């Protein structure tokens, strides 16, 4: 059965993901290092992991599998769940795929190097209403695709 995993510490679309999960009656794991308000909804699993740079990523990567959906802005996490058959979506609705993940990792590394050498000073544009809308559409499409796979014999 499809489940949704949210890398929640810096996620701007947690509430949207919860609404989609509720609409489809899917379990959703909100994974963080702490500090998030608990939910009483029976489908929402609040998971607090130990402090550490990759603790939430490790927890998600160990559990997300075929037919699951992972919501993350962390490209290395996306690259870890794709081989397990999970779908991965960025906060702006951008899907990470087996075909695109290599380029995404390379661009991430290039941008980090440019920041470290002072050749680039900042991140990308601010999160917008269009990003939120694109995310909702992409998550709905990912859920529909996963549910179709669940129904296949």
Spans of all domains in the chain: 3-151
Does residue 34 carry a pLDDT above 90? no
Give Dmax over CA atoms of the chain in angstroms: 54
- The residues pairing with 47 across neighbouring beta strands, listed in sequence order, are 31
CATH architecture of 3-151: 3-Layer(aba) Sandwich (3.40)
Percent of the chain with pLDDT over 70: 90
- Evaluated on CA atoms 8, 9, 11, 12, the torsion sign reads positive
Cα separation, 83 vs 51, in Å, equals 26
CB distance 22 to 47 below 8 Å: no
What mean pLDDT is predicted for residues 35-50? 88
Classify each residue of 32-61 as buried b or exposed e, where b means 16 or more C-beta atoms within 10 Å of its C-beta: beeebeeeeeeebebbbbeeeeebbbbbbb
* Comparison of pLDDT for 104 and 94, the residue scoring more: 94
SS3 80: helix
- What is the per-residue pLDDT across 46-59, written as a single tens digit (0 to 9) for each? 999 988 778 999 99
Write down the pLDDT at residue 61. Answer: 96
Please state the pTM of the whole predicted model: 0.85
Task: Give me the mean pLDDT over the 136-147 stretch.
Answer: 95
Q: Which residues contact 86 (CB under 8 A, 6 or more apart)?
A: 5, 64, 65, 66, 67, 68, 69, 70
Residue 103 has pLDDT above 90, yes or no: no
How many Å from the N-terminal Cα to the C-terminal Cα in the chain? 13
């Amino acid at each position: 059965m499809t489940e949704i995993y949210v890398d929640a510490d810096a996620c701007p679309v947690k509430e949207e993901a919860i609404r989609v999960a509720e609409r489809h009656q899917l379990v959703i794991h909100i994974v963080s290092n702490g500090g998030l308000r608990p939910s009483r909804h029976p489908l929402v699993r609040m998971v607090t992991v130990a402090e550490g740079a990759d603790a939430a990523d490790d927890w998600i990567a160990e559990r997300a599998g075929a037919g699951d959906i992972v919501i993350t802005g962390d490209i290395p996490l996306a690259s870890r769940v794709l081989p397990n058959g999970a779908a991965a979506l960025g906060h702006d609705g951008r899907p990470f795929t087996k075909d695109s993940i290599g380029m995404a990792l390379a661009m991430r590394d290039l941008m980090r190097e440019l920041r470290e050498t002072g050749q680039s000073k900042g991140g990308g544009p601010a999160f917008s209403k269009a990003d939120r809308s694109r995310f909702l559409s992409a998550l709905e499409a990912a859920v529909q695709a996963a549910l179709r796979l669940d129904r296949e014999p």
